[in-house]
Chain A
Amino acid sequence: MINLFAYNIPFASIFLLMISAIITPLLPEKNRLPEKLSCCVIGLVMILSAYLLYVLTNSGAPLSFNFPMGHFPAPWGNELRAGPLESVLSLVFCAAMLLSLLGNFSSTAEDIAPSRRQIFCVLVNLLTASLLALTYTNDLFTAYVFIEINTIAACAIVAVKEGAETTRAALRYLVMSLVGSGLVMIAICLLYDLTGHLLMQNMHAAIQVLVRTKNYLMPLTVSLALITTGLAIKSALYPFASWLPDAHGSSTNASSAILSGLVLKGHIFTIIKIFYRVFGLEVIHLLRMDNVIFILGLLAMIMGSVHALRQNNVKRMIAWSSVAQVGYIFLGVGLNTIAGIAAACLHIIVHACIKPMLFTAAGGLSNAAGHKKGLHALMGTFYVNQWAGLGLAVGAFSMMGIPGFAGFASKLSLTLASFDSPVIIWSLAALAASSVLNALYYVPAVIVILTHHKDAHKNFTAPAPTYIYRDKFLSGIILRAIVKTYHEGS
Chain B
Amino acid sequence: MLEKLFLNHYEAAAVILSGIGLTNLLLQRNLIKKIIGLNIMDTAVYLFLAAKGYVEGRAAPILLENGSGGWLNSANLYVNPVPAGLVLTGIVVSVSVTAFALALTLKLYEYYGTLNIDEALMKMTQEQQELESKIDDAEEEVLA
Contact = CB atoms under 8 A, between A and B. Distances in A.
B71 interface: no
Contacts of A156: 100
A182 B42 contact: yes
Contacts of B22: 179, 182-183
B77 interface: no
A156 B22 CA distance: 23
Interface string A268-298: 0000000000000000000000000000000
Nearest to B103: A159
Interface string A155-178: 110010001110110111011001
Interface in A167-201: 167-168, 170-172, 174-175, 178-179, 181-183, 185-186, 189, 192-193, 198
Contacts of B31: 171, 175
Contacts of A189: 45, 48-49, 52, 86
Contacts of B138: none
A155 B25 contact: no
Nearest to A152: B100
Contact of A155 (B26, B82, B104, B120): B104
A165 B101 contact: no
Interface string B106-123: 011001100001001100
Interface string A124-155: 00000000000000000100010010011001
Contacts of B83: 192
A73 to B, nearest CB: 17
Nearest to A142: B89
Given A145-B93, A189-B45, A170 B104 contact: yes
Contact of B101 (A145, A174, A185): A174
Given A167-B107, A170-B104, A171-B105, A178 B38 contact: yes
Contacts of A178: 25, 38, 97, 101
B108 A175 contact: no
Contacts of B82: 192, 198
Nearest to B25: A179
Nearest to B52: A193
Contact of A174 (B26, B49, B104): B104
Contacts of A198: 82
Nearest to A151: B97
Residue from the set A156, A163, A189, A193 with the largest chain B CB neighbour count within 10 Å: A189
B52 A167 contact: no
B8 to A, nearest CB: 10
B25 A182 contact: yes
Contacts of B38: 178, 182
Nearest to A148: B93
A392 to B, nearest CB: 25
Interface string B20-49: 011001100001001000100110010011
Contacts of A167: 104, 107-108, 111
Contacts of A193: 52
Contacts of B21: 182
Contacts of A152: 96-97, 100
A167 B26 CA distance: 18
Given A175-B34, A192-B52, A168 B25 contact: no
B64 interface: no
Residue from the set A145, A148, A151, A168 with the largest chain B CB neighbour count within 10 Å: A168
Nearest to A163: B111
A174 B34 CA distance: 11
B100 A141 contact: no
28 contacts: A164-B111, A167-B104, A167-B107, A167-B111, A168-B108, A168-B111, A168-B117, A168-B120, A171-B31, A171-B101, A171-B108, A172-B117, A174-B104, A175-B25, A178-B38, A181-B97, A182-B18, A182-B21, A182-B38, A182-B41, A182-B45, A183-B22, A185-B42, A185-B45, A186-B15, A189-B48, A192-B86, A193-B52
Given A164-B108, A168-B120, 5 more contacts: A155-B100, A159-B104, A171-B104, A183-B22, A192-B52
Interface of B: 15, 18, 21-22, 25-26, 31, 34, 38, 41-42, 45, 48-49, 52, 82-83, 86, 89-90, 93, 96-97, 100-101, 104-105, 107-108, 111-112, 117, 120-121, 124
